[in-house]
Amino acid sequence: MFLEILRANPDIQCFFLNTGVVGGMVRGQKITVKDSIKILEMIAKDKIKWARDDFWGYEVPVDIPEIEVDRFDLKNYYDDEQVTDLSMNLKNERVNWLSQFPGLNGDIIRALNP
């Protein structure tokens, strides 16, 4: 139903916001409530600079006023091979989980495998 709403209203913008930890629980960087509030504020003010993530196929922030975006760069915590492996594993987990819903529009799963 949400996909139908989005397709019928192409001007709607949607955002994913991670509220956990980037880089693992032991040495990672917590995304705090303060970070989340500032990110939401900057989204509302249209102050974020975005760039397309080649692996996931959607835009990610590269500059957020008053936020050190580099704190959340996976390359601070993992080497390139680990980033690729972790990303592939996450993508596969998402595809497998979504595949258990036979009535789900196939475009949703295909979006993870462009």
Residues 64 and 13 in one domain: yes
pLDDT bin (cut points 50, 70, 90) of residue 112 is confident
Q: pTM, whole model, 2 decimals?
A: 0.81
Q: Which residues pair with 64 in a beta bridge?
A: 67
Residues 65 and 89 in one domain: no
Look up residue 74 and give its amino acid. Answer: L
Helix ranges (DSSP H) in 9-79: 33-44
pLDDT digits (tens, 9 = 90+) for 69-85: 999 999 999 999 999 99
Residues 65 and 84 in one domain: no
Judge contact between 26 and 78, C-beta under 8 A: no
pLDDT over 90 at 114, yes or no:
no
Residues 30 and 48 in one domain: yes
pLDDT over 70 at 105, yes or no:
yes
Residues 67 and 24 in one domain: yes
pLDDT digits (tens, 9 = 90+) for 4-20: 999 999 999 999 888 88
> Rounded mean pLDDT of the chain?
92
Residues 103 and 63 in one domain: no
Residues 53 and 106 in one domain: no
Residues 20 and 62 in one domain: yes
Residues 57 and 85 in one domain: no
The total number of structural domains that make up the chain: 2
> Which range marks the domain in which residue 16 is found?
1-73
Judge contact between 108 and 3, C-beta under 8 A: yes
